[in-house]
Structure 1
């Protein structure tokens, strides 16, 4: 009988983009226990790089906790497409970040099962809040699905 997978929500934040980075991770164990990580990243980079940091931090934390199976959720479609697709079906790589993608793939391969799935941003709010907290930022307001934020110019001009 295989182990039930851990359910993980990861999010990276770069403010501004590119800028200071942080990551937030929520890990839900098969027994129902919850573990969180909220960490500033000691370098600057873009949102995709921050997301890769979040996934890498999540995988390292899973290893530390003894997990062998996990389903990781991320709201970054670019990173998910790069990591989840088989090699033959991957989109063109982001060359500057390819070493970080390879490091994440190696970590994923250490698990009996490690799947990465895209989730909409509104379903990844806890991880986003942890990433923003590591930067000293408030939580983003949650919008219902289908609602878009107004641009700064539209908010200012009514």
Structure 2
């Protein structure tokens, strides 16, 4: 990817309770370092996977509005990363129209990459999604001991 024009984004969604109200969060960084934040309550309700997918869609829409052409998005949902890139998947069939919309939005970018990251590297987007529902910041995960 051309780093000179590369926008980076981190997105996260939460459902409270699960299933329940959906909060969307995203942080977008322009190539010059300018920050754009998204923290909004979705008009939809659903499960955590739907919340994560809707957060990705909202991130794509915001990036297009801001006229990004090269975009790298980080997401801590393995399910969303897999399904956003696999049109033939039958996993989460109920959400197939949402993932079709995500794939259509992805095609609008000259360069695009979606990467999975661990949850502890997505704290700002997590905070933004939880804030949209009036939820407190999540406590940091305790490191796991290796066996």
Alignment of 1:18-29 (within 5 A): 18-29=19-30
CA RMSD between the two structures: 1.7
TM-score (normalizing by structure 2): 0.91
Q: Which has the larger radius of gyration?
A: 1
Query: What's the secondary structure of 2:21's corresponding residue?
Result: strand
Q: Which residue of 2 aligns with 1:156?
A: none
Measure, in 2, the Cα distance between the counterparts of 1:66 and 1:40.
Answer: 23
Query: Where in structure 2 are the equivalents of 1:109-120 lying within 5 Å?
Result: 109-120=107-118
Structure 2 counterpart of 1:66: 67
Count of residues in Structure 1 that have an aligned counterpart in Structure 2: 144
Aligned to 1:96: 94
Partner SS state of residue 78, structure 1: helix
**1:17 counterpart residue number:** 18
- The DSSP-based 3-state class of the residue aligned with 2:81 is helix
2:141 is the counterpart of 1:140: no
Query: Which blocks of at least 5 consecutive residues in structure 1 are unaligned?
Result: 148-158
In the alignment, what sits opposite 1:5? 6
CA distance in 2, matches of 1:84, 1:104: 9
- State how far apart, in whole Å, the 2-side matches of 1:117 and 1:30 are: 18
Q: Is the 8 A contact 1:84 1:117 kept in 2?
A: no
Secondary structure of the structure 2 residue equivalent to 1:114: strand
Structure whose residues are more often helix by fraction = 1
Asked if the contact 1:122/1:145 (under 8 Å) is kept, the reply is no
SS of the residue 1:26 aligns to: strand
Alpha-carbon distance between aligned partners in 2 of 1:19 and 1:93, rounded to the nearest angstrom: 21
Q: 1:145 to 1:119 in 2, by over 3 A?
A: farther
Please report the TM-score for the alignment, with normalisation by the length of structure 1.
0.85
What's the counterpart of residue 79 of structure 1? 80
Deviation at 1:118, TM superposition (A): 0.3
Greater Cα offset, 117-126 or 50-59: 50-59
